[in-house]
Structure 1
Amino acid sequence: MLLTILGGCGAWPEAGQACSGYLVEHDGFRLLVDLGYATVPRLLERVTADQVDAVFISHGHPDHCADLSPLLRARTLRDDPPAPLPVYSLPGALDAVLALDRPGMLSDAYVLHEFTAGSRLDIGPFRAQTRLLPHSVPNAGIRLTAGERVLAYTGDTGPSPDVVDLARGADLLLAEATYVDRVPEDSRRHLTSARQAGRQAMDAGARHLLLTHLQPGTDATAAQAAARAGYDGEVGIATSGLVFDLS
């Protein structure tokens, strides 16, 4: 299983970067997990739009799904459009982004598979377990298993024992860590710090931890240090272009 970071900024993309977007590949199958602002240009540096096999969106905030629109445009506004793209999301999460174009313009470009958090999904070679994690809108964390390797991804979430369950024994936990240490009081139920992510990775027994969704301007070195305070494994930062081989 191969993970390529298309972007890892929280809220909006810093100069030269992109928001949450992750390309996960196994046995020639390409799954996109989230497609936030500015991720499609980075995707198209690696593969063509028609080479994407499926998309999974954790929740409906635009820094996680806005670039689904240009991806679908790139697939349908051509002389030889590919087969409709399977798109997996929670009910209603993509209503806004799919309504950006005139009615019917993109209807042949995708097949929407809405699921209930907690469902198990088969997406190509991936066995996917989803879990509802606490955020300001419904958010589905996902555990992907293929080739005896496990990748767990939180989407955006407040601290929760469900994160630990989702990441139990994972080869890699890709964890939202918007803040280094102190999460503002009005966001404590909905977002996580790097320090909390480190503790959760430790409790889960995850082999590696990759921090993502850092707020623009965050000191990445400080975030890594905060995560390492409670976790004795390898800690990295999700930045555009990073490739992680789970094997």
Structure 2
Amino acid sequence: MDVAALAARLKALAADLPLPALDTADQCLEAAQAELKEASRESNAEIGLRKLGAARERLDSARVRLTEAAAAIDDYLDGIGAGAAAAPTAAAPKANAVQPPQVDPRRWWTDRVNELCDRTGAADPQQVPPTRLFNELLKAAGDGNAEAYCKRLRDAGPRTGVKLPGLAWPLVRTLAAEHLGRTPTARDVPGLRDQCADKVRSLVPKAEPDHIGAALASACTLGRKGTDDENDAARTAAMGPALVAALHRLSKSERRA
């Protein structure tokens, strides 16, 4: 083994020495010891104070030994010319390594909502309660205002947007039951999907029939999953108020008939 490889292995070994973990453990033991001391004032029984004290002594001894081992490794690395002075050269390749970009949740939400609604535009971040957002989306959906629907959803951001299904699904289930005259089941999902698809897609054009069916299945069968991608929070949120509006329109049409 050459000197560089040996130095790299020794540095990795030194970095893995669990000194921080021992410090954390000692803090936990110290806190436990303080609580036991308080409890012992009201009890004559041996409740482990001596054993806890002995454990802290052993922990302290282990910490000293680890510190000595780390110092010995540093001394050896200095002796072979691979100590702290040489470290920057060895670490240079890591500094040049390509790091994966951090995902900005709001940016992702904006792009995804624009894609689903087949529109463009930057978000104007708004902090609104989920119920207010839900009502605003229902109004836009009822008016057939796809532009306003997209804007409200886009501006809300992921933190509020992901709460929409929790507000939408009970209404979807209630309206579906009103339309069917009974509690909806999985067998009813294809028919409901076909009746709602045009209205939903007028607001969320990139919502495919399978996605609409999966959302209906989740709402009407009390959480049983359909074939939709469960990780697409933006799509699930976008379809909730649109489905409520579509089912509400079905119920109104039936009452008029």
Q: TM-score, normalised by structure 1?
A: 0.19
More helix by share: 2
Query: Larger strand proportion, structure 1 or 2?
Result: 1
Structure label with greater radius of gyration? 2
